Amino acid sequence: MNAVRGGVCIDLSQMDRVLQVNPEDFDCTVQAGVRRKQLNTELRTTGLFFPIDPGPDATIGGMAATRASGTNAVRYGTMRENVIALTVVTAGGHVVRTSRRARKSAAGYDLTRLFVGSEGTLGIITEVTLRLSGIPEETIVGRCAFPSEAAAVDTAIQTLQSGVTPARVEFLDDRLIAAVNRYSGLDLPETSTLFFELHGSAAHVAEQCELLEAIASENDCLSFEMAQGPDERTRLWQARHDAYYATVNQRRDARGLATDVCVPISRIAECIVETKKDLEDCPVPACIMGHVGDGNFHVVFSLNADDPAELKATEEIGRRLVSRALAMDGTCTGEHGVGLGKKKYLPDEFGEEAMQVMRLLKTSLDPDNIFNPGKIVDPA
């Protein structure tokens, strides 16, 4: 809500009705203010759930506008893959329905994908039709500790290449595990660690877990722990759930500053290792966590925002991180979005011709530049 040019903030949080659930079609339509947990509570009797989990209890409209993803993206995709249709109010006050409920269509331009991820710069999303998934019969959570970042990430990549389809594959570096141990009172081995979650039938999940353990062992896994019951699964996931707060609270009165990139999965180990080298000389405490199953990872700083030297240091590391990701044919942001902070990197990522297309789209749909002016791209 950083209105750099002033203006009016539109709050859709009270548009919070689930309008339609179609269990036979595995879809539903909700107003933009419906929250993720609220939706899954209402779906609990249908045997279905909405799998996209960006962490906070976000609104569905906000998740669509920011093309959110999160920990389940390895198996279930991002909002891009799970939004079937939108209702959008344009700058001219027109109400546009971007698609019907059919699972595929070759009709016209793909307006749904145009507005998903537009961060409120092209229109106001008021209703969202979502793809739903079946609640898995069995869920197993595991935690593997490794002697190095490369060993952990290589395990994740090889697991995917072997045909295992985890719902989540999360990476925490050694600094972060140490921070979590202090913050949450845990005693985990303070080394690079993978957390994974498998969904499916009992037999299928057991088979995949056995294969994953074998791959981890080949990469010198130091310890391997599994859990099936809800309480045990929660216990194993605690380190990942507490990761952001543990990082920020390494210093008193610090603020969290997070950035992210995404690269092809074959390059993520290299990208993380090079980034760790940058952090060795950084005066600001920082940790790495990542959704390594889809090539996305975050650097989180415990920042004294009143110290210009710290701000400069984190900005330089952020610049180097983006430059490294783009050199690997990645993107400047996998899920945090562009907004203001990464707007300057878009020309390097897309090139001037593509930027001009974006400017023309902005001008055509919002000629008076009233929707989030200054964000992502300026009008042509």
Q: What is the DSSP string of 194-261?
A: EEEEEEE-HHHHHHHHHHHHHHHHHTT-SEEEEE-SHHHHHHHHHHHHTHHHHHHTTSTT-EEEEEEE
- pLDDT score for 228: 84
Bridge partner list, 261: 297
Would you state the structure tokens that stand for residue 369, as one six-digit string?
């530049």
Bridge partner list, 172: 193, 289
- pLDDT score for 380: 77
- pLDDT score for 3: 80
Q: Rounded to an integer, what distance in angstroms lies between the CA atom of residue 331 and that of residue 69?
A: 15
- pLDDT score for 1: 55
Task: Judge whether 116 and 83 are in contact, CB under 8 Å.
Answer: yes
Q: What is the DSSP string of 120-175?
A: TSS-EEEEEEEE-EEPPSEEEEEEEE-SSHHHHHHHHHHHHHTT---SEEEEE-HH
Q: Rounded to an integer, what distance in angstroms lies between the CA atom of residue 180 and that of residue 272?
A: 19
The tens place of each residue's pLDDT in the chain, 380 residues long, gives: 578 888 899 999 999 999 999 999 999 999 999 999 999 999 999 999 999 999 889 999 999 999 999 889 999 999 999 999 999 999 999 999 999 999 999 999 999 999 999 999 999 999 999 999 999 999 999 999 999 999 999 999 999 999 888 999 999 999 999 999 999 999 999 999 999 999 999 999 999 999 999 999 999 999 999 988 888 888 888 998 899 999 999 999 999 999 999 999 999 999 999 999 999 989 999 999 999 999 999 999 999 999 999 999 999 999 999 999 999 999 999 999 999 999 999 999 999 999 999 999 999 999 999 999 999 999 87
Helical H segments across 4-142, by residue range: 36-42, 60-65, 73-76, 79-82, 111-115
- pLDDT score for 285: 95
- pLDDT score for 4: 80
Looking only at the bridges linking them, the beta strands covering 133-134 and 48-49 are antiparallel
**Helices 268-280 and 149-161 meet at what angle, rounded to 10?**
160
Please write down the long-range contacts of 225-231, taking CB distance under 8 Å and 24 or more positions apart.
225/142, 225/143, 225/144, 226/140, 226/141, 226/142, 227/140, 227/141, 227/142, 228/138, 228/139, 228/140, 228/141
Please report the domains of the chain, with CATH numbers, ordered by start residue.
18-134 (3.30.465.10), 138-244 (3.30.70.2190), 249-344 (3.30.70.2740)
Would you state the structure tokens that stand for residue 377, as one six-digit string?
């791209």
